[in-house]
Structures are given as structure tokens and as C-alpha cells.
Amino acid sequence: MIDTHTHINMIESISIEEILNNAKENGIEKVIVPSANPKDFPEIAELINKYDNVYGMLGVHPSDAKDWDDSLINQIKDLCNNKKIVAIGEIGLDYYWDKSFNDLQKDVFIKQIKLANELNLPLDVHDREAHKDTFDILKQYNINSKVVMHCFSGSVEFAKECVKEGYYLGIGGVVTFKNAIKMKEVAKHIPLEYIILETDAPYLTPVPYRGKENQPAYVKYVAEEIAKLKEISYEEVKNVTTSNAERIFNL
Ligand code: NI
């Protein structure tokens, strides 16, 4: 399996070697590490050079939109000469933490969509309490990039709208939470062909480790829950979501 969105550079309780060993022991062969801030770029470049099964994404998170600078466009283009940079992310809109610079968030999002289109890389999209604006901007500006709605948090209806556009949904630990009725409905009703697995570690740790620090190995609990909800085998979830991820990110 592939953990398609995991901040292994932010996990504090164990080393990178332990993280990758635990992942391997639990059937997670590859991980993709997004950046949130330009300060993360050197760290991601180092990780993908050092470890064969670690891939990266470059982008500026909406909550860090104030750190955007147009000179980053050329910087990202240069770093993307390394074929282990497999997407632009995480980028998008976040109206949960701070609504005071929504317009700036939109500008920075649009600039990065255009950049991904130019580089022909997929978009790894963060959408928190901004479903309508995120969707409208993607529809208006994205021409040729595949789209992943990372840590999908919308309704089944919104999920269906996304799938109609050909967007993929990244599903993580939240689906295992007992009270996550909406997420369970999404996992149940959206075709497996549009789902990929992620942890968003160190956050959003699935049951049975909820409350502790998350890590890529725990992707298996997400896969188990999706299998249970869809009443299909763990093997099928594993095989289909892995080939989805390989196709999207060209792994
Ligand atoms: Ni993230």
C-alpha cells in the first residue's frame, strides 16, 4: 500500500528509519510527503534523495499563504527536475483556522494550480470548511492536472460531485472514528476506483491508536475500515487503492 499524504518529517516520537520499518512490516511500501511551507522544501529534497521509497510533493498550504512569494514558482520548477516530486501539494483553502485572508488563499491556490498544470503534475488539495470555493476554483482553473481531495471531509453529495469531475478522494484515520458518520457514508458509497489511502501523520491517528502520534503503518487500519464498510476484502481495498495511487502519482 501507499501512504499518499504523510508528514513523516513532523513525527517526533520515532525516527525516520523506525517509521519506514514499521510501515514496511505493515504492508506500506511507499510514502508521499507533502510540504506545507517553503521551509519544508530542503527537508523533503533530502528525504527523497536518501530513501528509495519516499516521494515528495511541493506546495504552500493555505494557512501559510502569507509565506507565498512568486519567486517560489521557479524554485519549485527547479526542484521538480527530480522525478520523485510527484505532485503539487498541499495546496487549497482553509477557512477553519483563519478567515482573515481568504482572498490571498485563493490567489496562492490559483497560482499553484497553474504551476501544476504547466508541470503536468497532480494537485493534492487541502479543503477545510471551504468546499464550495475549492470546487469552483478547481473547475474554473484546472486544465490538465489530476486532482486529489486530500483528507476528504465533505458529504456524500459533495463526494459525488467531485467524482463526477474525475477527482480522487484521500481517505485517512477519520473514517475509523466511531462518530464519523459522514465519512463512513462517503467510504461506503464512493467507488473504490476513486479512493486512495493516507494518514496525514502525525495527525488524525486512526482507532485503535487514536490520541497517539500517527504514522504511515496505520494506513492498514484505514484499509480495514473501508473493507468493512464496503463489505469487500482487505486485499481488494489494498490492490485497487494502490493501483489508483500508482496511476495518479506515476509511481
Ligand atoms: Ni497534511
For the segment 2-50, what is each residue's pLDDT rounded down to a tens digit? 999 999 999 999 999 999 999 999 999 999 999 999 999 999 999 999 9
Average pLDDT over residues 135-148: 98
The H or E element containing residue 195 is strand 195-197
Average pLDDT over residues 130-155: 98
* Res 191 pLDDT > 90: yes
Provide the residues around ligand 1 (an ion) whose CB is within 5 A: 200
Average pLDDT over residues 78-85: 97
Report how far ligand 1's centroid is from the alpha carbon of 144 (Å): 23
Report how far ligand 1's centroid is from the alpha carbon of 204 (Å): 10
Domain that holds residue 194: 2-249
Report how far ligand 1's centroid is from the alpha carbon of 165 (Å): 23
CATH number of the domain where residue 73 is located = 3.20.20.140
Contacts of 33 (CB under 8 A, 6+ apart): 6, 7, 8, 9, 44, 47, 48, 54, 55, 56, 57
CB 27 within 8 A of CB 238: yes
Peptide bond into 208 cis (omega under 30): yes
Average pLDDT over residues 67-86: 98
Report how far ligand 1's centroid is from the alpha carbon of 5 (Å): 6
CA distance 29 to 23: 7
Q: Round the CA-based radius of gyration of the chain to a whole number and report it.
A: 17
Number of compact structural domains in the chain: 1
For the segment 104-137, what is each residue's pLDDT rounded down to a tens digit? 999 999 999 999 999 999 999 999 999 999 999 9
Report how far ligand 1's centroid is from the alpha carbon of 188 (Å): 23
The pTM score is 0.97
